[in-house]
């Protein structure tokens, strides 16, 4: 009996050690492979750089397409009218088909709702967008942001005379998909245009975020401002 108990404990110890070794091996092999596969698929995005980080325990659950947590980040995402400096997403209890992903088809997937998404816009992103929206040709435009306050300075040539233009305003979230610029001051040289001329000058200076192109439903709920950047926080739902 003593010998049998010793052998049992020995075999049990070996099995535990083997389990730990296999778990560590799965962690160091399967997780990087899964991240590379997801980055390869996400590379179809019109972005300068894409990163994916996943966590799953035990790691061999990845073989079944089960991911405990998935974080991804894309930088320099190009849209028709403007560029996003950064787009970040965080999802839990993700389920997907590796086979469909490997065949470069959009995989069936699910996740625990809601997921989280954060969009970051820089001063350059905002300048690029406004230049396509304002109704007048401007030279040497510069945009500065502090919190949700925006200041645009530029030169505007009228009748052969180049005049400085100043526009200040505040960004606000309207509904769950639109950022609007609320003008507070518009000045051309020493002249302050009336409300009708301001409307004509500003055109449609609102951000209609292109969420309808996404395969998920996104609802933004908060707009945050910081030095030179704004962040838009949202929740993600399965359609």
pLDDT, one tens digit per residue, over 205-239 is 676 776 666 778 899 999 999 889 999 999 999 97
| Phi and psi at residue 139, to the nearest 5° | -115, 145
- Mean pLDDT, rounded, for 138-144: 89
pLDDT value of position 156: 85
Separation of alpha carbons 89 and 145, rounded Å: 24
**Per-residue model confidence (pLDDT) at position 16:** 45
- Residue 32: is its pLDDT beyond 90? no
Residue 73 reports pLDDT greater than 90? yes
Amino acid 129: pLDDT = 81
Mean pLDDT calculated for residue range 87-111 = 85
pTM of the model: 0.81
pLDDT score of 11 more than 80: no
The answer, yes or no, to whether residue 37 has pLDDT greater than 70, is: yes
Is the distance from CB of 171 to CB of 230 less than 8 angstroms? yes
* Kind and range of the H or E run holding 197: helix 195-202
Query: How far is the C-alpha of 233 from the C-alpha of 117, rounded, in Å?
Result: 6
**Can you read off the two tokens belonging to residue 49?**
């750089």
CA distances from 18 to 22, 27, 215, 232 (A): 6, 14, 42, 47
Q: Across the chain, what does the average pLDDT equal?
A: 80
The pLDDT of residue 80 is above 50: yes
pLDDT per residue over 153-166, tens digit each?
999 887 788 989 89
Q: What is the mean pLDDT of residues 202-206?
A: 67
**What does the domain layout of the chain look like in residue ranges?**
11-112, 124-208
């Amino acid at each position: 009996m003593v010998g049998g108990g010793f052998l049992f404990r020995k075999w049990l110890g070996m099995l535990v050690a083997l389990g730990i070794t296999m778990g560590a091996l799965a962690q160091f092999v399967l997780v990087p492979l899964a991240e590379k596969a997801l980055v390869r698929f996400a590379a179809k995005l019109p972005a300068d750089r894409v990163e994916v980080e996943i966590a799953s325990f035990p790691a061999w659950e990845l073989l079944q397409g089960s991911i405990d947590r998935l974080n991804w980040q894309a930088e320099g995402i190009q849209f028709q009218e403007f560029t996003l400096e950064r787009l970040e997403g965080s999802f839990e209890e993700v389920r997907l088909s590796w086979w469909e992903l490997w065949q470069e088809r959009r995989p069936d997937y699910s996740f625990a709702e809601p997921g989280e998404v954060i969009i970051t816009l820089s001063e350059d992103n905002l300048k690029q967008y406004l230049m396509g929206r304002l109704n007048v040709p401007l030279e040497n435009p510069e945009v500065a942001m502090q919190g949700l306050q925006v200041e645009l300075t530029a030169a505007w040539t009228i009748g052969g005379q180049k005049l400085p233009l100043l526009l200040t305003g505040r960004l606000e979230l309207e509904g769950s998909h639109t950022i609007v610029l609320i003008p507070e001051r518009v000045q051309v040289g020493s002249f302050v245009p009336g409300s009708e001329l301001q409307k004509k000058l500003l055109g449609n200076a609102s951000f209609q975020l292109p969420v309808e192109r996404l395969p998920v439903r996104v609802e933004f709920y908060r707009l945050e401002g910081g030095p030179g950047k704004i962040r838009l926080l949202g929740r993600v739902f399965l359609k």
